[in-house]
């Protein structure tokens, strides 16, 4: 479908650049030659009130009406620049562990997922996902968002990934021990849970509208079925462990989707880049420099390796860095998400840099 066709699903109430953005982002995903990078940045129109200390944090993060009202206010209050587009995604916790018995703890920043599995070798019914209250809540949340969005924004979902879910269900220290002491049990659990993940993802896909494209975390649009894969705990894995336990999951998810995206999160995880570059089905790698990871430009050798390895590259950077990155990286297959555009002046600076390309 051409970009004009995708844009017909959406309204101009919150964003007016659907058609142009879809055309450019489609070229990014379809590996068409690009003379300029995809660049996303936004500027808030006015200051919104912050939540108070009396806020019910569970409702704040998990109640569909509460979350939609909060996110919709932020989306409507943003001036979208470059290829930035408004989107809301349905979540219940961070990963599939939320649907398999892991308790939640809520605070002002996020939802924490607590361990629920005493031993990796315990008998476990992965199909319990199908009747789990939080799974049902996620489907209700997604349905509510689709009803309320009315084409003003994109709507996606997030169900996390399998190896990361097992790590949360066991707790990090226990899981790392499992990788050494019971690797076959970990592989068996991963494979059974991955099969269930694919069934559940198909169920959510069937709820999404034709003609709207697809959305993954970080408000990233794609012109077809797409997947966001990650394994943050792999920063603690050896390269051999990553290839054994994580790569098969990434491959299976990338084969399921038309467009695939891997979230490579922070120092410690960068040692797995070679393994990711060797996955032919994987389209795009996102580099997150993480807390204490310095500037995006400090990672230019790694960013260049991603591009030279034939993958699309997504990188976040502060407003001070686009000029440096664009001087050293190829614009072809590059997506920059500019952090910190908190005012019109900063947004105009980024626009001026891009116009000079």
> How many other C-beta atoms lie within 10 A of the C-beta of residue 35?
7
**Number of residues that this document lists for the chain:** 357
Specify the pLDDT at position 121: 92
Q: What are the start-end ranges of the H helices in the chain?
A: 3-7, 18-29, 57-62, 64-76, 133-149, 162-170, 172-181, 183-205, 239-241, 247-256, 273-277, 300-308, 322-328, 344-355
As beta bridge partners, residue 156 has 89
Specify the pLDDT at position 276: 98
Token pair, residue 312, equals: 């699309």
Mean local confidence (pLDDT), 223-251: 97
Specify the pLDDT at position 52: 75
Mean local confidence (pLDDT), 31-46: 91
Residues with Cβ within 8 Å of residue 156, at least 6 apart in sequence: 87, 88, 89, 90, 214, 215, 216, 217
pLDDT digits (tens, 9 = 90+) for 198-222: 999 999 999 999 999 999 999 999 9
Enter the DSSP assignment of 298.
G
pTM metric for this prediction: 0.94
Mean pLDDT, the chain, whole residue set: 93
> How many other C-beta atoms lie within 10 A of the C-beta of residue 294?
10
Whether pLDDT at 357 is above 60 = no
**In whole angstroms, what is the distance from residue 351 CA to residue 303 CA?**
23
**Residue 88 in contact with residue 71, Cβ under 8 Å?**
yes
pLDDT digits (tens, 9 = 90+) for 41-51: 988 888 788 77
Phi, psi of 90 (to 5 degrees): -90, 125
Closest C-alpha among 287, 234, 241 to residue 264: 287
pLDDT digits (tens, 9 = 90+) for 162-171: 999 999 999 9
Specify the pLDDT at position 3: 66
User: Pick the residue with more confidence: 355 or 142?
Assistant: 142
Specify the pLDDT at position 145: 98
Its sign, for the CA torsion 133, 135, 137, 139, is negative
**In whole angstroms, what is the distance from residue 269 CA to residue 239 CA?**
9
Mean local confidence (pLDDT), 101-121: 93
pLDDT digits (tens, 9 = 90+) for 295-336: 999 999 999 999 999 999 999 998 889 999 999 999 999 999
Token pair, residue 140, equals: 């209700």
**In whole angstroms, what is the distance from residue 110 CA to residue 264 CA?**
20
Contacts 24+ apart (CB under 8 A), 227-230: 227/201, 227/253, 227/254, 227/256, 227/257, 227/259, 227/260, 227/261, 228/158, 228/261, 228/263, 229/161, 229/253, 229/254, 229/260, 229/261, 229/262, 229/263, 230/160, 230/161, 230/164, 230/262, 230/263, 230/265
> How many other C-beta atoms lie within 10 A of the C-beta of residue 306?
25
90 pLDDT tier (thresholds 50, 70, 90):
very high
1 pLDDT tier (thresholds 50, 70, 90):
low
The single residue listed with the structure tokens 């912050």 is 50
Please give the biggest Cα pair distance in the chain.
Answer: 60
Token pair, residue 336, equals: 């920059």
Question: Minimum mean pLDDT among 184-188, 323-327, 348-352: which range?
Answer: 348-352
Specify the pLDDT at position 356: 66
Instruction: Give the CA dihedral 256, 261, 266, 272, nearest 10 degrees.
Output: 60
> How many other C-beta atoms lie within 10 A of the C-beta of residue 113?
22
User: Pick the residue with more confidence: 13 or 52?
Assistant: 13
Phi, psi of 349 (to 5 degrees): -65, -45
The single residue listed with the structure tokens 């490579």 is 264
Specify the pLDDT at position 101: 93
Q: Which fold does the domain 3-46+55-355 belong to in CATH?
A: TIM Barrel (3.20.20)
Question: Minimum mean pLDDT among 119-133, 242-256, 341-355: which range?
Answer: 341-355
Whether pLDDT at 67 is above 90 = yes
Enter the DSSP assignment of 234.
G
């Amino acid at each position: 479908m051409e970009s004009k066709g995708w844009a017909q699903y959406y309204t101009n109430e919150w964003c007016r650049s659907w058609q142009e953005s879809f055309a450019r982002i489609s070229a990014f995903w379809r590996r068409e030659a690009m003379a300029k990078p995809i660049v996303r940045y936004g500027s808030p129109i006015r200051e919104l009130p912050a939540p108070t200390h009396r806020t019910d944090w569970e409702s704040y993060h998990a109640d569909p009406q509460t979350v939609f009202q909060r996110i919709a206010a932020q989306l409507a209050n943003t001036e979208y620049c470059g290829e930035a587009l408004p989107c809301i995604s349905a979540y219940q916790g961070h990963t599939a562990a939320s649907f398999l018995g892991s308790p939640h703890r809520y605070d002002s920043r996020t939802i924490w997922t607590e361990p629920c599995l005493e031993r990796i070798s315990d008998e476990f019914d992965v199909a319990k996902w199908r009747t789990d209250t939080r799974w049902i809540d996620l489907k209700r949340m997604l349905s509510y968002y689709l009803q309320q969005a009315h084409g003003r924004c994109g709507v996606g979902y997030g169900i996390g990934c399998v190896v990361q879910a097992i790590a949360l269900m066991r707790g990090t220290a226990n899981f790392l021990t499992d990788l050494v002491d019971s690797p076959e049990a970990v592989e068996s659990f991963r494979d059974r849970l991955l099969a269930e993940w694919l069934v559940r993802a198909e169920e959510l896909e069937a709820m999404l509208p034709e003609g709207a494209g697809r959305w993954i975390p970080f408000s990233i649009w794609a012109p077809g079925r797409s997947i966001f894969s990650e394994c943050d705990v792999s920063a603690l894995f050896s390269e051999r462990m990553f290839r054994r336990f994580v790569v098969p999951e990434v491959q299976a998810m990338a084969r399921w989707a038309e467009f695939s995206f891997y979230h490579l999160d922070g120092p410690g995880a960068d040692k797995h880049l070679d393994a990711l570059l060797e996955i032919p089905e994987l389209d795009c790698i996102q580099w997150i420099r993480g807390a204490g990871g310095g500037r995006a430009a400090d990672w230019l050798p790694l960013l260049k390796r991603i591009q030279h390895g034939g993958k699309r590259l997504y990188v976040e950077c502060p407003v001070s860095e686009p000029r440096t990155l664009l001087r050293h990286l190829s614009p072809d297959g590059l997506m920059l998400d500019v952090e910190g555009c908190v005012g019109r002046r900063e947004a105009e600076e980024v626009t001026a840099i891009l116009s000079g390309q």
